[in-house]
Structure 1
Amino acid sequence: MTHTEEKTLDLILDNEQRGGYSSGEVVSGHISLKLSEETTVKTIKVLLKGYAQVSWMHKQSRCSEERKYLSLSKTLVGATGIQGFILDSGTHVIPFVLQLPQSPLVSSFSGKHGRVYYMVQAVLKKPFTENQCVCRELCIINHIDVNMPTLISPVSQTCKKMIGCWIFASGPISLTVNIDRQGYCNGESIPIDALIENRSSRLVLPKAVLYQKQTYMANGKTKITKQVVFSARGNVVASDFSSRWNGNALKIPPVSPSILNSDILRVEYFLSVIVEIPGAKNLRVQLPVVICTNVLGNSFDMSSHSTVGLLYPTFTLPDVAEAPPSYAEVVSEEWFEEHRTLTCQSHPDWLLDGPGFSCIRHFHVQPPPSYSEIYPNEH
């Protein structure tokens, strides 16, 4: 018998279209082996493996780590002797069943500097020849219950800053942000309750951003990337006015659930509400958000989330932030002229004539620099 006979090895899962598997569930399917003639076989095995890998360049060296999260093996067909046994020509269908461990697994994920992946592998071993293998990737989801007490409790934070100093101080700006809970799921919207108090003499613009933070750890070093998932803008808050957030709620697109149970790769989310202040450092409140796998008050239904689950390993976020709108898009010319007049009249004549105020007044009425001036290399 020659070694040039036609052989086809394939692996088929019983439920190819499901969104993903979780701890304790059964992975079943069959191995299909097509032979054009009699073939000597030693063993046919099925394996289920899971790994986390991270890697990036740090200066002149590479930082990398790997973790094995899963290793299951089952021999479906095996010979007792060294010589093996003979399979007839034709198609052989061999079913298999593997049960995932009950302990929590890390969710499948693909990021900029690392990934978590699982695969089912069929291995055909023949005497004195190279093994033949075929693999299928498996999506694993570690369920995070949004109904946990820590995730359904409201979250709140306040920050405040003074604009200017000495006689040129124009008053404080404060920001208070509340969200009704910390845990959310794909497709849900995060209602933002924010109060902006602007006691300064400047126009300020609120913005809300949902960030994904990827943290990679290897060789005692840490690599962090932060990317925008979704953002929304509110309306301008005038000088000496208070205003509540009047922008849109942030709707969560299909993204990977939070990964908090790996020692080399973490995926976290943060809601940032930012008050942009022309000529000064922005005011920012940042609240943690956990992306869960079930809707508030309901148990997780895998079939209803199958489309979302398939997107977990392949979803990528843009590396470059979108440029903000121009000043003219935010503030109308009529409102600008009215505000400038009111601001100038609110100061005493002796201060208006001074050189210090002329400088402040000049920058107070100027629009902020364009996006290209601040980030000239971003395209």
Structure 2
Amino acid sequence: MGGDKTKMTHVEVKSLDVILDNEQRDGYCSGEVVSGHISLKLSEATTVKTIKVLLKGYAQVSWMHKRSRCSEERKLQFDLSGTQDLIFFDSGTYEIPFDLQLPQSPLVSSFSGKHGRVYYMVQAVLKRSFHESQRVNRELCIISHIDVNVPTLISPVSQTCKKMIGCWIFTSGPISLTASIDRQGYCNGESIPIYALIENCSSRLVVPKAVIYQIQTYTCKGKTKSIKQVVASARGNEVPSDTSSRWNGNTLKIPPVAPSILNSDILRLEYLLAVIVQIPGAKNLEVQLPVVIGTSGHGMSSRSIVNMSLLYPTFTLPDVAEAPPSYAEVVSEEQFEEHRTSTCQSRPDWLLDGSAFACIQQFHLQPPPPYSEVGRFFILPFFLLHL
């Protein structure tokens, strides 16, 4: 947890800082006491009108919407303070202790995402007569306790979906998927046992996989913005045509992630377990099962599950995208020759004459350049888009 010292503009006050008693602590929960001291260094004797310690919390969201910024800030439900009035200090270094007890009511966990954050701070305010107030902040990590042993989170959940492949007389049979988990509440480091039945009555080979998504939802003035991230995934065995496959508790381990945030009206952090059947040439079949990531349960304490780094996650996209298949894998030599012959025969005589047709023939039906030569994007000549 970091803090910053104020830049003093008055010669009497050399430095002002907030020091917490346990700087290495992962975070604080509702009802706990935040203790520490204010460090004050003076170069000259001075009279302090007021020294105040405040504990504040804010939830902020912000993103661009139609060329304008949509932003909102909510002050969280407490503003604790302690005050000492009218004190005379000689030059030297002073430590002024403080104790602030967090409210017993549930708090929103600290979190920092792409379009918003929830943060808390201990603020020290020094006031002197005929001087501007001087302030210094120390960030404080808050963890909202979520017990995954409550009845609503230990009940099983299941979903089924079915899809017909093809259309009209070209149908090749249905593919059905049923997936379930024995409970909805889990903690970091646990593995989710997945039970699934994939029935493939089509003519295609399909591949099942399981994915855990983190969904960040930001709300501002009636508008919402969602970010969906993959935090874990696992691939199952292929399911050939006219066969079925069953998962009897196949596991997917939960990586270190921030706990769910369900008690804020402008920033939510949720998780989904998706079981997906990948179908070549068709839209995937998918069921989504809600999952809550808690801080304690199943014999684990909140201190052993959550650390501050999980509340400020970073996700990055791959540096290099996967290359597309080569031209030879998509179009055979027989198809290329057949299409070139039929295309040339169908051209009108007026188009076969002149330099335009010669230029077209230079590029038409030629393999694209290797992926390594052009990177992620390749722009075709404009006239080729109309062929």
Q: Same fold (TM over 0.5)?
A: yes
Q: Distance in 2 between matches of 1:220 and 1:320?
A: 33
Percent identity of equivalent pairs? 73
**Residue type of the alignment partner of 1:46:** V
Pick aligned residue for 1:222 from 213, 221, 224: 224
Pick aligned residue for 2:267 from 262, 265, 268: 265
Q: Distance in 2 between matches of 1:203 and 1:310?
A: 44
Gaps of 5+ in 1: 80-84, 328-370
Partner of 2:244: 242
Alignment of 1:49-88 (within 5 A): 49-79=56-86, 85-88=87-90
**Residue type of the alignment partner of 2:253:** K
Q: Distance in 2 between matches of 1:97 and 1:37?
A: 28
Are residues 322 and 98 of structure 1, via their aligned partners in 2, closer, same or farther at CA, if it must alter by over 3 Å? Answer: farther
**Residue type of the alignment partner of 2:166:** G
Per-residue Cα deviation, 1:326-361 (whole angstroms, up to 9, x for no partner): 99xxxxxxxxxxxxxxxxxxxxxxxxxxxxxxxxxx
**Residue type of the alignment partner of 2:310:** Y
Task: Give, in angstroms, the shift of residue 311 of structure 1.
Answer: 1.4
Provide runs of 4+ in structure 1 moved above 4 Å: 319-327
Task: Give, in angstroms, the shift of residue 228 of structure 1.
Answer: 0.7
Task: Give, in angstroms, the shift of residue 117 of structure 1.
Answer: 0.4
**Residue type of the alignment partner of 1:172:** P
- Where 1:295 maps in the other structure, the secondary structure is coil
Would you say the 8 A contact 1:106–1:259 is kept in 2? yes
Partner of 2:119: 117
Q: Distance in 1 between matches of 2:256 and 2:269?
A: 14
Partner of 2:50: 43
Are residues 117 and 89 of structure 1, via their aligned partners in 2, closer, same or farther at CA, if it must alter by over 3 Å? Answer: same
- Where 1:42 maps in the other structure, the secondary structure is strand
Would you say the 8 A contact 2:78–2:103 is kept in 1? no
Task: Give, in angstroms, the shift of residue 322 of structure 1.
Answer: 9.2
Task: Give, in angstroms, the shift of residue 152 of structure 1.
Answer: 0.6
Q: Distance in 1 between matches of 2:192 and 2:293?
A: 11
Per-residue Cα deviation, 1:145-191 (whole angstroms, up to 9, x for no partner): 10111101111111111111233211111111111110011111111
Partner of 2:163: 161
Is it true that 1:317 corresponds to 2:334 in the alignment?
no
Pick aligned residue for 2:31 from 21, 24, 27: 24
TM-score w.r.t. length of structure 2: 0.78
Task: Give, in angstroms, the shift of residue 210 of structure 1.
Answer: 0.5
Per-residue Cα deviation, 1:239-281 (whole angstroms, up to 9, x for no partner): 1111123896221112111111111111110011111100111
Are residues 325 and 206 of structure 1, via their aligned partners in 2, closer, same or farther at CA, if it must alter by over 3 Å? Answer: farther
Q: Distance in 2 between matches of 1:122 and 1:74?
A: 9
Q: Distance in 2 between matches of 1:239 and 1:325?
A: 28
Per-residue Cα deviation, 1:99-149 (whole angstroms, up to 9, x for no partner): 111111111110110000000111111111122222111111111110111
TM-score w.r.t. length of structure 1: 0.79
The higher radius of gyration belongs to 2
- Where 1:118 maps in the other structure, the secondary structure is strand
- Where 2:313 maps in the other structure, the secondary structure is coil
Would you say the 8 A contact 1:216–1:266 is kept in 2? yes
Are residues 237 and 325 of structure 1, via their aligned partners in 2, closer, same or farther at CA, if it must alter by over 3 Å? Answer: farther
Q: Distance in 2 between matches of 1:322 and 1:185?
A: 32
Q: Distance in 2 between matches of 1:204 and 1:227?
A: 24
Task: Give, in angstroms, the shift of residue 36 of structure 1.
Answer: 1.9
**Residue type of the alignment partner of 1:224:** S
Q: Distance in 1 between matches of 2:14 and 2:320?
A: 52
Would you say the 8 A contact 1:228–1:318 is kept in 2? no
Would you say the 8 A contact 1:8–1:34 is kept in 2? yes
Pick aligned residue for 1:96 from 95, 98, 104: 98
Q: Distance in 1 between matches of 2:324 and 2:52?
A: 62
**Residue type of the alignment partner of 2:29:** S
